[in-house]
Amino acid sequence: MDARELWEAWGQGGGDAPEAWAFGDDPDGLARLVLSGDKTATASALPLYEAEGEPLPRAGEYSVLLDGQGEAVCILRTTEVSVVPFSAVTALHAFREGEGDKTLEHWRTAHRRFFTRCMAGAGLCFSEDMPVVCEAFEAVYPRPESASNAVLFDMDGTIFDTERIWFECWEPVGRAHGLEGLNALLDRCVGITDEDMTSIFMDAYGADFPYERYAGEARAIFRARYGRGLPMKPGVREILGFLRDAGVPVALASSNGMDFILRELACVGLLACFQVIAAGDEATRGKPAPDIFLLAAERLRVDPARCFVIEDSFNGIRAARAAGMRPIMVPDLQKPDAEMTALAEIIAPSLNAAADYLRGALTRTSIDRKENPSCPTST
């Protein structure tokens, strides 16, 4: 099927078929990543647009993606366009491109080589400050097939052993400044966004409480102790490897900010294990509201009722249930009470036990996804 035939088959665009194009390197492999939902962005060298007199893409425009044989693969709609120096391309854009291990380091290595070759072919030179056109898109027809099930993970206390760490980092701050009742306050903050945590501290210690200064001291201790990578919870690689082998889409839905999530997952080599990420700074409301989990399900194109959620915190379990999902509690610092027993589908003592439960509960997905070998199953 050519671009015109696909455009007419969609029947919603009107007029002539839009521009048709293929990826410059490995057009078939990258097209498969688009169809699987792993690739939702691309990047081009601005000097090549200028040399060829081509207009830049614009948000809202449609185009037809071709494979290596010139056959139409799908119709794309551009959602975002920005122009930044090569050296300023973000980790989020690299993750959205969906290639390799999805890290910014991989993106820079691969695209430095690609842009150098393309620029040389046009008689131009690549440089680290070369303007790059970063384009995000969505496939609108045919839409990537929805999976029958998905699994969403919390991060702190579920993937990483960070809940305990944050208590440890706040302890010397509380001692130095005489913060009474700090541990009880921190327990209320497990699983919530930094904005909500600020409100809880201000309510407890007064409107003039210097939260940002004290939190900055705790973060400095955190960076000094764990700047080279966070300790993972036992069974993380095993459960992610099982889900990968089963072809089940996996998302991370965390109250942390996106930059922190991308950095910490990349540091331990887990970034490629997640098809999508939903971060606390993208949601209107943090846990126990369901917003973060619903955003992750939307990005995976999976019905919330078909999503399992692996969480350690009370607020996370509440959020998962409010989203209409199937919560699996793997307790960390907060031990399950009667409320959690009622809300959680199961309380699993470990991630390995959660994996055993999922083996029986999951329906093997029929989605035709390319397995990503970058997701490690062992250290």
Span 40-52, pLDDT tens digits: 999 999 999 999 9
Strands (E), 69-130: 72-85
Q: Which of 174, 208, 226 is the last residue of a domain?
A: 226
Claim to verify: residue 208 and residue 266 sit in the same structural domain:
no
CA distance 28 to 87: 28
Whole-model pTM? 0.84
User: Where a domain ends, among 83, 110, 141?
Assistant: 141
Per-residue confidence (pLDDT) for residue 191, from 0 to 100: 76
Mean pLDDT calculated for residue range 168-175: 92
For residues 283-308, average pLDDT: 94
- Let me know whether 135 and 18 are in one domain: yes
Q: CA 304: distance to chain centroid? A: 17
Q: How far is the C-alpha of 227 from the C-alpha of 309, rounded, in Å? A: 28
- In the numeric block, the tokens 């060829």 are attached to 52
Take residue 42 and report the two structure tokens written for it: 């691309």
Query: Do 30 and 137 form a contact (C-beta atoms < 8 A)?
Result: no
Residue 317 inside a domain? The answer is: yes
Q: Does residue 367 have a pLDDT over 90?
A: no
Asked if 128 and 257 sit in the same domain, the reply is no
Judge whether 79 lies within some domain.
yes
Spatial CA neighbour of 159 closest among 235, 269, 255, 256? 235
236 and 222 housed in the same domain:
no
Assess whether 240 and 340 both reside in one domain: yes
Total of domains in the chain = 3
Kindly state whether residue 60 falls inside one of the protein's structural domains. Answer: yes
Flag whether 372 is in a domain: no
Residues 47 and 133 in one domain: yes
337 lies in the same domain as 207:
no
What average pLDDT does range 236-253 have in this prediction? 96
Q: Please, what is the average pLDDT of the chain?
A: 91
- The reply to whether 56 falls in a domain is yes
Indicate whether 260 and 315 sit together in one domain.
Answer: yes
User: Are residues 230 and 165 in contact, defined by beta-carbon separation less than 8 angstroms?
Assistant: yes
Whether the CB-CB separation of 66 and 21 falls below 8 Å is answered with yes
Per-residue tokens: 339 = 């409320």
In the three-class reduction of DSSP (H, G, I as helix; E, B as strand; rest coil), residue 347 is classed as strand
CATH number for 10: 3.10.400.10
Largest CA distance in the chain: 71
Q: What is residue 342's predicted lDDT score, i.e. its pLDDT?
A: 97
Cα-Cα-Cα-Cα dihedral of 299, 304, 343, 257, to 10°?
10
79 and 25, same domain (yes or no): yes
Q: Are residues 186 and 239 in the same domain?
A: no
Tokens of 281: 């700074």
Rounded Cα–Cα distance for residues 308 and 364 (Å): 13
- Flag whether 375 is in a domain: no
Are 209 and 189 found together in one domain? yes
Burial class for 164, CB neighbours closer than 10 Å (0-12, 13-18, 19+):
middle
Residue 126: both structure tokens together: 């690549």
User: Which DSSP letter does residue 160 get?
Assistant: B
The 10 Å Cβ neighbour count of residue 143 is: 13
Report how far residue 80's alpha carbon sits from residue 98's, in angstroms, rounded to the nearest whole number: 16
Cα separation, 88 vs 307, in Å, equals 35
- Boundary of a domain, candidates 202, 226, 250: 226
Residue 238: which CATH number? 3.40.50.1000
Q: At what angle do helices 104-121 and 258-267 cross, to 10 degrees?
A: 90
Range of the domain at 190: 162-226
Q: What is the pLDDT of residue 145?
A: 63
Do 248 and 200 share a structural domain? no
- For 317-346, the pLDDT digits (tens) are 999 999 999 999 999 988 999 999 999 999
What's the pLDDT tens digit per position in 192-211?
788 888 999 999 999 999 99
